[in-house]
Chain A
Amino acid sequence: MDVIEASNIVKRFGELEAVKGVSFSVKAGEIFGLLGPNGAGKTTTINILCTLLKPTDGQARVNGHDVIKERSQVRQSIGLVFQEPALDDYLTAEQNLRFHGYAYGVPRNVLEPRLKELLEMMELWDRRKGKISTYSGGMKRRLEIARGLLHHPRVLFLDEPTLGLDPQTRRRIWDYIHDLRKRENLAIFMTTHYMDEAENCDRIAIMDYGRTVALDTVEKLKDGVGGDVISIKTEDNEEAVRLLEGQYKFKPSIENGIISFTVSHGEEFLPKFVSGFPIRLISIGLRRPTLEDVFLKLTGRNIREQEVDSMQKLKNMAKMRGH
């Protein structure tokens, strides 16, 4: 059964069209990732599914309930971890969870054991009486995941669950997420702009400028790149690119003095290529494609370049405001 069905969701903010007709469905027990650069419309999409925003057009159902007409049923069946912490700093971890339990109407005889189970799972049981203001970023995120699960939701939404956390904590959060899926059989819907993290998802929708440009399993997306990625450095890169395009019919891209292109059966291609290529090679490498390559192929841009772009935009905006 599909726990999320989104069809042709559109969201406009005045002139700006943040989401331009997005459709997908998510099955129970699946980890579904929305991958894309900052500003691609990921958070807007999540906010629509969570009933925090009304879509301008299109329809979405979560756990069988319409996100516009049956808001409270949708809210009851989802757990949510936001990009920014949404905890009450003045309360203890336990008090934050209890508030959540009362708010979602979790019966008292269920609430206490569930609270203990989740805090133990997230390794926060010993710190349950600590105020949130004394918690580290990673602890807060773990507590929020525990809180999101307290009322037995069917879908857990994670908006950039590991943003701003150190690599070690990020890995631990992922361990919890995998563990959870096994234990609770719930669907996990997450957004991320970390390519390496997206690899943890069963299926991924790649978003760019408010559209989904691809939707498939990680493996299939990588296969779509067309085999293996060969990267070479030569004494005359311009001439090499010309040759690769003309004679070899590849679509090479060049970045930081390194030319990359994809071929099928890279291992067999490599010896032939090295002996036949007329320009002197300085280095050559072969690797399996990453999601980064998938994004590059689909959009013609590098996801990281775009981040720089959006940072630059922010800076320009700040300048215009006179900061």
Chain B
Amino acid sequence: MAIVFRTIWVIAYRELVRFVADRPRMFSSFSMPLIFLLIFGAGFGRLIGQMMPGVDYIQFMYPGILAMTVLMTSIMSGISIVWDREFGFLKEVLVSPLSRSGVLAGKAIGAAIIAMVQGAIMLVLAPIVNVPITLGKVLALLPLLLILSLSLSGLGLLIGARMRSQQGFQIVMQLVIFPMMFLSGIFFPVSGVATWLEVLSKLNPVTYGIDAIRQVFLGTEVAGVTVFGHTMGIVDSAIVVAMVGAVLLTAAIWVFNRQE
């Protein structure tokens, strides 16, 4: 068991050192949510805002952008495995006495720490875009972001566990991640859209993560996903995300361990 913990910290440590060393990646992981926040907020804000009377669009969208930052970084933990495999470093890890299950857990935790830092930077930006934020909200958000990040790392790692090329990962990104992002209620409320879209949204774990975060900001009036007549509270949604994440991470570890 001691070896599993050592593995987790060694791998997470390396993810962090690497993240700091790789400036372009650091920059790009911050820039995309910022660009979305600016363009959607300033551009569409007024237009879309008219469809949802009573809610400022930027206030609606900000929690989604926060979740998206976490989503992007977490999924990237998967590409780091593909990267390691492509450039040979994975062999160094596989031939060491480190535990293979621990390797994946370490990558997920490393990604979660980075995602938390990025989330924190987004929180600092909140007052600038006119989203009120309090210490209470921050304290409620951090565990949510952590759970969301670990779960989505599980997804990224599952995709990357056996993949051999980064191009392959990018394709899966586009086929899985972007639909997941757009069907999660980042940009529009899940309720009140076409039925098939609503069903897909409710199957999407990201929806619950975003909804929980949104509830912290806006309360249950605007947010709250209704599943079989039950409106999901913050804790309900967090449990859904955590459970899906546990399944994804277990699957990723299983797939990763099976390789010779």
B22 touches A90 (CB 8 A): yes
Q: Which residues of B contact A89 (CB under 8 A)?
A: 87
Q: For A158, what are the chain B residues with a Cβ–Cβ distance below 8 Å?
A: none
Please give, as numbers and ranges, the residues of chain B lying within 8 Å of A82 by CB-CB distance: 88, 91
Contact between chains at A52 and B92 (CB < 8 Å):
no
Residue in B closest to A89 when the chains form the complex, CB atoms: B87
Of the candidate stretches B6-14, B47-55, B61-69, B229-237, the one touching chain A is: B6-14
Enumerate B34-59 residues with CB–CB distance to A below 8 Å: none
Contacts A90-B22, A105-B6; is A100 near B95 (CB within 8 Å)? no
Please tell me if A54 contacts chain B, counting CB pairs below 8 Å: yes
B260 engages A53 (CB within 8 Å):
yes
Tell me whether A103 is interfacial, beta carbon within 8 Å: yes
User: Is B129 close to A, CB under 8 A?
Assistant: no
A25 at the A/B interface (Cβ < 8 Å)? no
Interface size on B, residues (CB 8 A): 25
Whether A75 pairs with B97 at a CB distance below 8 angstroms is: yes
Number of residues of chain A lying within 8 A (CB) of chain B: 28
Task: Report the bound CA distance from A51 to B96 in whole Å.
Answer: 10
B90: chain A residues at CB < 8 Å are 86
Contact B89 A87 (CB under 8 A): yes
Chain B CB within 8 A of A102 CB: yes
Given A88-B18, A90-B22, A131-B21 in contact, is the A100-B92 Cβ separation under 8 Å?
yes
Q: Which B residues, 83 to 102, have Cβ-Cβ distances below 8 Å to chain A?
A: 84, 87-98
Residue of A nearest to B84 (CB): A88
Known A-B contacts A90-B18, A99-B14; the reply to A104 vs B97 at CB < 8 A is yes
Tell whether, in the assembled complex, residue A103 and residue B97 are in contact, meaning their CB atoms are under 8 Å apart.
Answer: yes
A102 contacts which of B13, B94, B260 (Cβ < 8 Å)? B13
Residues of B within 8 A of A95 (CB): 17, 21
Residues of A within 8 A of B9 (CB): 102
Spell out A's residues near B (CB within 8 Å): 50-54, 72, 75-76, 78, 80, 82, 84-91, 95, 99-100, 102-105, 131, 147
Give 19 new A-B contacts, CB below 8 A, not counting A80-B95, A87-B92, A88-B14.
A51-B95, A72-B3, A78-B95, A82-B91, A84-B88, A86-B88, A86-B91, A87-B89, A88-B18, A88-B87, A89-B87, A90-B21, A90-B22, A91-B17, A91-B21, A99-B14, A103-B10, A103-B96, A104-B96
